[in-house]
Structure 1
Amino acid sequence: MARKFLISRIALAVAISGGLTAAVSSSPAFAAKKEKVSGSFSKEFSAAAAEFDKAVSGAEANPAVKAATDKASAAQTPAAKTAAAAEVDAALGGADAKLAAIGAAATTPLDKIKLGELTRNVGVLKNDPALQNKGLVMMINSGAAKPEQMGQLQYLAGVTAYQTGDYAGAVQYLKPSYDSGYRDQQGMIDKVLADAYKRTNNSGAALALSQAEIDKAKAAGGKPSDGALRTALQAAYDAKQVGPATDLSAQLVQYYPTPASWQSALQVVRSLNKNMGAQENLDLMRLMARTGSMNDKGDYLSYIQDADPRRSPGETLKIIDQGIAAGKLTAGEVADYRSVAQSRVTADRNGLPTYEKEARASSASFAAINGAADAFLSYEQPAKAEELYKLALPKAGGEKDRVLTRIGIAQADQGKYAEAQSTFAQITSPTRLPVAKMWSAYAKSKTGAAAPTAAPAS
């Protein structure tokens, strides 16, 4: 489950590929600062750093440095990276040694921010995130960074810490950057920060971070981003927070009702809500089938087993045929289920008028009425099913929420989405509430209308 949501290394590389822009480009050149006043470069630092600054600034125009830098960017193995970084160092005339000498001369805030810039830029040329991070932290701590630069500097320091596996360090810098309102062009800051929280065993903070973004979008009258919803859902799933994970699953598919979203959301709901039985799972599998999100053999087999070829032969055969047609099942795997269903389906379908007649009798039991309604829903006759479920409701007793769920399903199957939302909002039992929330999200996704508020998850 976790693999579906986490940030890919490729996406992270894209997020930082632009490098430092305003913060680096706004650092003053040595020639412009010769006056001996507060905020200037020291004489010793200028003398030590000027030549090396020119070499680093002109790296792209230096064939030897450019070739070594290209090698560093393309290196895949640790050995290749180390060798390429050494070539960059040599092409720059001994970069590490020169940085050490320049550092010994850095005394003023402006010296220190320039030393950090040089260190960071050498790290970029070497494709060395740890060295980049070291330089960025120097810039942050120099005392010379302008307030408008700080958010970007902190973001890049956090990302480079993340790349080195220093997730606590990533949080240390990404959190103040995020809180300051800084947002990178690729929209990665919240995702990297949330994953850093997770990797420091703080899923609660990751959830709060993404939830704040979701709430902000809603308050502004918009819809939360897919990324914010998925990040929050991942955090809630990791923390095993059943109620929030269910609510976020419902929001994800309400706003982004794609098969992939439905598959992820329903997997989360089924995984975390351990107390659901076969009938609850059957209604979730029905939703999965209606949203085109059944994806593997396990989905089809789960549906077939919970539908039960002895109770719902027609529905079972339909799912068997769909699974085989989709290439997820083989005929041999479901031969026994098919045999049982085929032996019963004709008589079951032909018995529908009798089931209805018996269900409408004044003396009909709940079991007779509910069984007839289940049969009509199974054979895709939702209008008749809705009528019969409503007849069963006064006699449902402890089965009330199951009947309400099926009424809502029948209404949704007829396109009566507002009525379905109202029906699902009446469901309160812990085992049925997750099912109701997901079906309500389905109905809401079809209309965009606000759904009635269901009772909170326990």
Structure 2
Amino acid sequence: MARKYLISRVALALALSGGMATAALPAMAAAKEKEKAPKIAFSKEFAAAAGDLDKVVGAAPQNAAVTAASEKLRTAQTPEAKAAAAAEVDAALGGAKAKLAAASTVATTPGDKIKLGELTRNVGVLLADPAMQHSGLVTMLQSGALLPENTGQVQYLAGITAYQTGDYAGATNYLKQAKDGGYADKDGLIDRVLADAYKRTGNTGAALALAQQEIAAARAAGTKPTDTAIRTALQAAYDAKQTSAAIDLAIELAKDYPNAKSWTSSISVVRALSGLQGQDNLDLMRLMARTNSMNDKRDYLEYLQNADPRRLPGETLKVIDAGIAAGKLTSADVAEYRQIASSRLAADKASLASLERDARSGSASAATATGAADAFLSYDEPAKAEELYKAALTKPGVDKDRALTRLGIAQVDQGKIADAQQTFAQVGGTRTVIARLWSAYAESKASGATAQ
């Protein structure tokens, strides 16, 4: 019988959502395999029981009946249709499952067992049966005849098929063995599947450590970690309730991948873990708006609540119009906000001149100066806002961290990136994380990155 240790294709791939797709693994080099492989002995009984099946399975790609039934199985939509198509595949293979069962009763030598495992795995692929594939791969690993250089790949496939069948403990066992042995698949799926399997078995700490190792290795090599690696680590940190690590990773994601999707994830994590309220959260919502990362009605309504149409009517109306234009809000959703903001808009705009005059007077309080600065920032006049925040910072009793945060925002809005970075670096307290995110945004603007 021809000896094949590995198959060239396997259904496996992990999306971050947990779904599976199809990916190919490279076929083993047959010539090299033949040169290295020691002589394998098959028992007479096993050779008689499995010889014909080995030929049929080897010829399956050229067997029209098998390929037609396999295609039917691939496209079947209901359990009944899948079962019927699988039965057609089995029949086209000459009753493969029954022949495997018969061969298993006489498999006694290491050669018998590795061939039995290979055939079981092959038939499992043709039948789209991950449990059968897994059984065959485990038989190969336990046969005692698997070449050392092939062990990692078989362990990897055993881990993948365990994952596909919902055996997450088995998946972590085999995938960790493969990884510890130095195996690395070309698509990097081993780390993603292993991390998710750890998560599903409740071992969130191991999932986080694994993802952090991948990030650290990329940094050490002078390359940027993949978006997937950072997201995997971020999710693991979030699941493990490691707030500090999760926030650090959220900022890392935004810095390395400053697009709308990343900003949505990063800011959402910070909102969820930091417990920011009111005026603090308002500046996060402003960052979401500037990064085009406001995803749903909740985002817009939260922004409106924080802005308050009585305090910032112009900004409130701008958010309402943006939400309706984006299809995230309806007029009914925001009718009260619009009514309040619209009724106050004219008077609020008319008061800007007097607000500025009062704020610039030598006797102005910190509250007067910051109030005027807030008004100009909300009306997209960052130059005046910058001057007034600077004035406020010289006043006793100023909320220094809030004023510094918004001074940095005003500077970013003017394109004064270096100044903004210096300003954000001075922010402390609960607003530190807000400033770090804004600093990452400023950095992305300096590099020319845009939110897509």
Whether the TM-score (by the shorter chain) exceeds 0.5 is yes
Match in the other structure for 2:80:
79
2:56–2:93 Cα contact (<8 Å) kept: yes
Q: Structure 1 residues 27 and 50, CA, compared in 2 at 3 Å: closer, same or farther?
A: farther
Residue type of the alignment partner of 2:94: G
What's the counterpart of residue 436 of structure 2? 437
2:368 — aligned with what? 368
8 Å contact from structure 1 (residues 24, 117) kept in 2: no
In 1, the alpha carbon distance for the partners of 2:396 and 2:333 equals 37
CA distance in 2, matches of 1:180, 1:432: 45
Cα distance in structure 2, aligned partners of 1:25 and 1:130: 30
Mind listing any 5+ residue stretches in structure 2 that lack a counterpart? 1-14
Which of 22, 27, 48 is the aligned partner of 1:21?
27
What amino acid is aligned across from residue 335 of structure 1 in structure 2? A
Aligned pairs for 1:307-386 within 5 A: 307-386=307-386
After superposition, the Cα gap between the structure-2 partners of 1:307 and 1:143, relative to the gap in structure 1 and judged at 3 Å, is same
Structure 1 residue 393 displacement after superposition: 2.1
Aligned partners of 1:23 and 1:149 also within 8 Å? no
Give, in angstroms, the shift of residue 23 of structure 1. Answer: 8.5
Q: Does structure 1 retain, via aligned residues, the 8 Å contact 2:366–2:398?
A: no
Distance, in Å, in 1 between the alignment partners of 2:173 and 2:157 is 12
Residues 79 and 331 of structure 1: CA distance in aligned 2, closer, same or farther (over 3 Å) = closer
SS in 2 for 1:22: coil
Residue in 2 that maps onto 1:456: none
Which residue of the partner structure matches residue 230 of structure 2?
Answer: 229
1:7 correspondence with 2:21: no
Question: Hey, what does 1:454 align to over in structure 2?
Answer: none
1:23 and 1:152 in contact (8 A); partners too: no
Give the 3 Å change call, closer, same or farther, for CA 378–91 of structure 1 in structure 2: same
Is 1:418 aligned to 2:418, yes or no?
Answer: yes
2:101 aligned partner: 100
Q: Is the 8 A contact 1:253 1:261 kept in 2?
A: yes
Distance, in Å, in 1 between the alignment partners of 2:83 and 2:332 is: 55
- Is the alpha carbon distance of 1:116 and 1:271 closer, same or farther for their aligned partners in structure 2, counting shifts above 3 Å? same
Q: Tell me if structure 2 keeps the 8 A contact 1:155–1:189.
A: yes
- 8 Å contact kept, 2:251–2:440: yes
Offset, 1:27: 6.7
- Is 2:65 aligned against 1:57? no
Give the deviation of 1:442 after TM superposition: 0.8
Distance 1:57 1:317 in 2: 69
Q: 1:97 to 1:321 in 2, by over 3 A?
A: closer
Superposed, which structure 2 residues align to 1:440-451 within 5 Å?
A: 440-448=439-447
Separation (CA, whole Å) in 2 of partners of 1:179 and 1:418: 45
Tell whether the 8 Å contact from 1:109 to 1:144 is kept in structure 2 after alignment.
yes
Decide whether the 8 Å contact of 2:366 with 2:397 is kept in 1. Answer: no
The answer for the alignment partner of 2:185 in structure 1 is: 184
Instruction: Provide the C-alpha distance between the structure 2 equivalents of 1:24 and 1:133, rounded to a whole number of angstroms.
Output: 23
Q: 1:332 to 1:48 in 2, by over 3 A?
A: closer
Structure 1 counterpart SS, 2:99: helix
Range with greater deviation from structure 2 (141-150 or 61-70): 61-70
Q: What letter corresponds to residue 384 of structure 2 in structure 1?
A: K
- On the 8 A contact 1:69/1:84 being kept in 2, the answer is yes
Deviation at 1:43, TM superposition (A): 3.8
Structure 1 match to 2:112: 111
> Is the counterpart of residue 46 in structure 1 residue 47 in structure 2?
yes
Contact kept in structure 2, 1:247 and 1:437, CA below 8 Å? no
CA drift of 1:360 comes to 2.4
CA–CA distance in structure 1, aligned partners of residues 274 and 282 of structure 2: 14
Task: Please state how far the C-alpha of 1:127 moved relative to its aligned partner.
Answer: 0.8
8 Å CA contact 2:359–2:388 kept in 1: the answer is: yes
Alpha-carbon spacing, 1:419–1:147, altered in 2? closer, same or farther (3 Å): farther
- 2:245 is aligned to 244
How far residue 272 of structure 1 moved from its aligned partner, in angstroms, is: 2.1
- Structure 1's unaligned 5+ residue stretches are 450-458
- Which residue type is aligned with residue 22 of structure 1? M
Identity %: 62
Deviation at 1:137, TM superposition (A): 1.1
Residue 118 of structure 1 deviates from its aligned partner by 0.7
Q: Which amino acid aligns with 2:427?
A: I
CA displacement at 1:122 relative to structure 2: 0.7
Kept in 2, the 8 Å contact 1:106–1:112? The answer is yes
Counterparts of 1:59 and 1:25, CA distance in 2: 21
TM-score by length of 1: 0.87
Q: C-alpha offsets along residues 136-181 of structure 1, whole Å, 9 cap, x if unaligned? A: 1111222222232122212211111111111111111112223334
Contact 1:20 1:152 in 2 (8 A): no
1:248-267 correspondence runs (5 A): 248-267=249-268
Q: Deviations over 1:69-111 (max 9, x none)?
A: 3333233333333333333333323322322332233333332
* CA deviations over 1:297-347 (Å, ceiling 9, x no partner): 222221112111111111112112222222322333323222322232223
C-alpha displacement at 1:58, in angstroms? Answer: 1.0
Does the CA-based 8 Å contact 2:279-2:306 persist in structure 1?
yes
Q: Are 1:290 and 2:300 matched, yes or no? A: no
Task: Give the whole-Å Cα distance in 2 for the aligned partners of 1:324 and 1:68.
Answer: 51
Query: Does the residue aligned with 1:133 lie in a helix, a strand or coil?
Result: helix
User: How many positions carry a matched residue from both structures?
Assistant: 434
Q: Distance in 2 between matches of 1:24 and 1:171?
A: 30
